[in-house]
A = this chain, B = another copy of it.
């Protein structure tokens, strides 16, 4: 049997993993976000196999996370984030926050974020969209939603 496909599960985590859960995909997204838009740039930066990079880029384009556009009359292409992809990068910011706190050690965070609105270097914080108070994993109950499996 082939490897498990998470996309069919009634779970938004599993479905999201179906889009960016494969090895390298989040790092590819990070690179595109950071401004590396071409195949050769990403390949050189990550040291990823060309075969796998091709597969991942196609997968991300197929799922509407990246878009592929020519930048020359020769067959040369650039990859950019779509709206869907940019919102996925929010996830990377949260991932960065966790890694900065728990894994960066003495050296401190490798990358800082400066927030356009206030101009300050800051972390991202999770808040309830309804009341605005902090909202973390320990602050919620899980309830079945309309799309839950029977």
- Contact present for B137 and A92 (CB under 8 Å): yes
- Contact present for B126 and A126 (CB under 8 Å): yes
List B contacts of A134 (CB < 8 A): 117
A84 close to chain B: CB less than 8 A: yes
Interface residue tally on A, bucketed by range? 35 or more
Q: Separation in Å of the A80 CB from the closest CB of chain B?
A: 12
Q: How far is the CA of A105 from the CA of B7 in the complex (A)?
A: 13
Taking A112-B143, A117-B131, A117-B139 as contacts, is the C-beta distance between A16 and B126 under 8 angstroms? no
Main secondary structure of the interface of A (DSSP, over half): mixed
Taking A123-B129, A125-B126 as contacts, is the C-beta distance between A95 and B12 under 8 angstroms? yes
Question: Most chain-B CB neighbours within 10 Å: which of A12, A15, A103, A140?
Answer: A12
Q: Copies of this chain, how many? A: 2
Taking A93-B126, A130-B118 as contacts, is the C-beta distance between A144 and B98 under 8 angstroms? no
List B contacts of A116 (CB < 8 A): 139-141
Binds B, one of A23-31, A54-62, A67-75: A23-31
Which chain B residue shows the least CB distance to A102?
A: B84
Please, could you name 16 A-B residue pairs with CB atoms under 8 Å apart, sorted by A? Answer: A11-B30, A12-B109, A15-B104, A16-B95, A19-B103, A84-B102, A86-B136, A87-B136, A87-B137, A90-B137, A91-B91, A105-B147, A108-B145, A111-B144, A112-B142, A114-B142
